[in-house]
Amino acid sequence: MIATKSERTKRSIMKKTLDLGKEAILPLILKMSWPSIIAMTAMSLYNFIDTFWLARLSSQALAALTVCFPIQLIAAAIGVGTGIGAGSFSARMFGAGKILEAQKTAGQTFSLSMLFGFGSIGFVLLFGDAMLAFFGASADIQPLSHDYLYLAVYSSPFLFFSMMTAIMLRVEGRPLLSMYVVLIALISSAILDPFLIFGIGPFPRMGIRGAALAAIIGHIIMFIFSIYFLQLKSSKYDFKLKYIALDLKIIQSIYSTGFPSMVTNLVVSVVLVIYNHVLANFGFQAIAAFGICFRVTGLATMVLFGVGAGLMPIVGYNLGARLFDRLKESVSVALQISIFFSIIAIVLLEVFSTQIIALFSNDPVLTAIATPALRIHVAALIFSAPIIIYVNMFIGLGKGALAMFILFIRDILVFVPLLVILPVFWGLTGAWLAMPLAGFIELFLVIYWARKELKHFDKISA
């Protein structure tokens, strides 16, 4: 019997979309995770490249970019938090067979990204300098921080939507498209970076503003491809203009999970502000050293986040489909993968820490500070692996408030006191030690709540 055109189209869509409720778990997690890993690693690598070129411009330029990090993380908190909420809600709706609710979610993310994006531009233009002072910009790096922030902020609407869409594409079982969106944009920005920073060829020498302009161009490219992929016929979302009108019921569902994730990331920004102020007491080289450590360890951490991002929609889908044994097995497999990777990453980064720091700077003062700092920060990866997996499990279950509560305890009640107290006794080394110690303490809290959640499914199955 000859298949009709609609039947062939349906089969084509099914081939392009992973079945989160039936495929073998290990291959499924790898298929869901590796595009996310590549996309997130590419984002971290772009920050790595930014750091590489600006370190060659000057240590002050690198410190200025590091001061802007908390502001960038605030934007990421809004975009990723909304995307996680929308993704978690969509995954549960797809799993429960409520397709229309999931489709409307894509339109809501467009409207929300525009509201947040243009609101961010206005806020920075009015209060940007005050923000930089609050976030630790000293007099010697404030002008450079100003130059970067006041240009980079114009990409906010495009960046917000792209961050949300990347998560939505993973949720519908198309992680490859999510990866393509990020890779195309970041490769473009990375290529433009040295040309715009140093004025190579026909390009003007823009310094730190060149890094900001390269980021804007990359974010616009991300936006264009995000719109394109959501409108493909193979997309489950069926992105249409009629879904853009704000739907308060869906927005409430998005932020029931997304708001706690947003708050969690905002807390990270506050912690980085405190970190910058503590490090400022040891000179701008200490802030620059932290910038290097943050980006280098970020490469490894993004792999862990990629595995967690691959796990989250699988958990949400199987919760909606009430496949509890499959849900638990998925968490177990993701946990094993992440711990195995973190051990390899720790060994490599510890052995080659000196060579890695040498890639960024030949300043002997900065090198002397950054090398031991990197070795200490790397140790935290072994605690980060299970924490990231379990937190993504909580989010997939729709329990963003629990994830927020756990991370809030780590960052505010544990890390900040350690960050204030330890430097009194061990100086700058104490400031570096605060992070792995906070992760070690948080690990016990995460394991307790994770076991409690998983036992709940045992009771339901029984």
Q: What is the pLDDT of residues 392-421, one digit of tens each?
A: 898 888 887 788 788 888 888 899 899 999
Asked whether the predicted pLDDT for residue 334 surpasses 90, the reply is yes
Average pLDDT over residues 338-354: 92
Q: Are 51 and 291 in contact (CB under 8 A)?
A: yes
Phi, psi of 262 (to 5 degrees): -65, -45
For the segment 293-310, what is each residue's pLDDT rounded down to a tens digit? 887 887 888 889 888 888
Asked whether the predicted pLDDT for residue 5 surpasses 60, the reply is no
- Please give the Cα distance from 401 to 414 (Å, whole number): 19
Query: In 242-352, where does DSSP find H-type helix?
Result: 248-280, 284-320, 324-351
**What pLDDT score was predicted for residue 7?**
46
- Please give the Cα distance from 449 to 447 (Å, whole number): 6
For the segment 142-177, what is each residue's pLDDT rounded down to a tens digit? 888 899 999 989 999 998 998 888 888 877 777 778
Average pLDDT over residues 200-220: 88
**What pLDDT score was predicted for residue 87?**
81
By three-state DSSP, how is residue 276 classified? helix
pLDDT-derived band at 16 (thresholds 50, 70, 90) equals low
pLDDT-derived band at 97 (thresholds 50, 70, 90) equals confident
**What pLDDT score was predicted for residue 1?**
43
For the segment 24-66, what is each residue's pLDDT rounded down to a tens digit? 888 888 887 777 777 777 776 777 777 788 878 877 888 888 7
For the segment 186-196, what is each residue's pLDDT rounded down to a tens digit? 888 888 988 99
Among 64-68, 90-94, 125-129, name the most confident range: 125-129
Asked whether the predicted pLDDT for residue 13 surpasses 50, the reply is no
- Please give the Cα distance from 155 to 223 (Å, whole number): 10
pLDDT-derived band at 374 (thresholds 50, 70, 90) equals very high
**What pLDDT score was predicted for residue 440?**
92
Asked whether the predicted pLDDT for residue 118 surpasses 60, the reply is yes
Q: Which residue has the tokens 């772009």?
A: 46
**What pLDDT score was predicted for residue 17?**
64
Q: Are 66 and 290 in contact (CB under 8 A)?
A: yes
- Please give the Cα distance from 391 to 265 (Å, whole number): 13
- Please give the Cα distance from 61 to 45 (Å, whole number): 18
Question: Quick one: what percent of the chain has pLDDT higher than 70?
Answer: 94
**What pLDDT score was predicted for residue 401?**
78
Q: Are 73 and 268 in contact (CB under 8 A)?
A: yes
- Please give the Cα distance from 373 to 279 (Å, whole number): 12
Which of 5-9, 190-194, 324-328 has the weakest average pLDDT? 5-9
- Please give the Cα distance from 133 to 129 (Å, whole number): 6
Q: Length of the chain in residues, anyone? A: 462
- Please give the Cα distance from 223 to 225 (Å, whole number): 6
Say if pTM beats, i.e. exceeds, 0.85.
no
**What pLDDT score was predicted for residue 231?**
80
Q: In the Cβ-directed half-sphere of 108, how many Cα atoms lie within 13 Å?
A: 24
The per-residue b/e assignment along 48-63, b for 16 or more CB within 10 angstroms, e otherwise, is bbbbbbbbebbbbbbb
pLDDT-derived band at 11 (thresholds 50, 70, 90) equals very low
Asked whether the predicted pLDDT for residue 219 surpasses 60, the reply is yes
Per-residue HEC secondary structure of 105-161 comes to HHHHHHHHHHHHHHHHHHHHHHHHHHHHHHCCCCCCCHHHHHHHHHHHHHHHHHHHH
**Nearest residue to 428 (alpha-carbon basis) of 290, 322, 282, 305:** 282
Answer with the residue of higher pLDDT: 462 or 170: 170
Residue 113 exposed, middle or buried by CB count within 10 Å (0-12, 13-18, 19+) = buried
pLDDT-derived band at 269 (thresholds 50, 70, 90) equals confident
- Please give the Cα distance from 115 to 135 (Å, whole number): 24
Residue 451 exposed, middle or buried by CB count within 10 Å (0-12, 13-18, 19+) = exposed
Write down the mean pLDDT value for the chain.
83
Number of neighbours of residue 270 by Cβ within 10 angstroms = 16
The per-residue b/e assignment along 139-164, b for 16 or more CB within 10 angstroms, e otherwise, is eebbebbbbbbbbbbbbbbbbbbbbb
Average pLDDT over residues 235-264: 79
Q: Cβ contacts of residue 15 below 8 Å, gap of 6+?
A: none
Among 1-5, 208-212, 256-260, name the most confident range: 208-212
Output the six-digit token pair for 248.
């308060």
Answer with the residue of higher pLDDT: 9 or 250: 250
What would the DSSP string read from start to end of 335-399? HHHHHHHHHHHHHHHHHTHHHHHHHH---HHHHHHHHHHHHHHHTTHHHHHHHHHHHHHHHHTT-
Among 10-19, 132-141, 234-243, name the most confident range: 132-141
**What pLDDT score was predicted for residue 32?**
77
**Nearest residue to 239 (alpha-carbon basis) of 229, 224, 252, 250:** 229
pLDDT-derived band at 91 (thresholds 50, 70, 90) equals confident
Asked whether the predicted pLDDT for residue 115 surpasses 80, the reply is yes
By three-state DSSP, how is residue 426 classified? helix
- Please give the Cα distance from 447 to 339 (Å, whole number): 14
Asked whether the predicted pLDDT for residue 263 surpasses 90, the reply is no
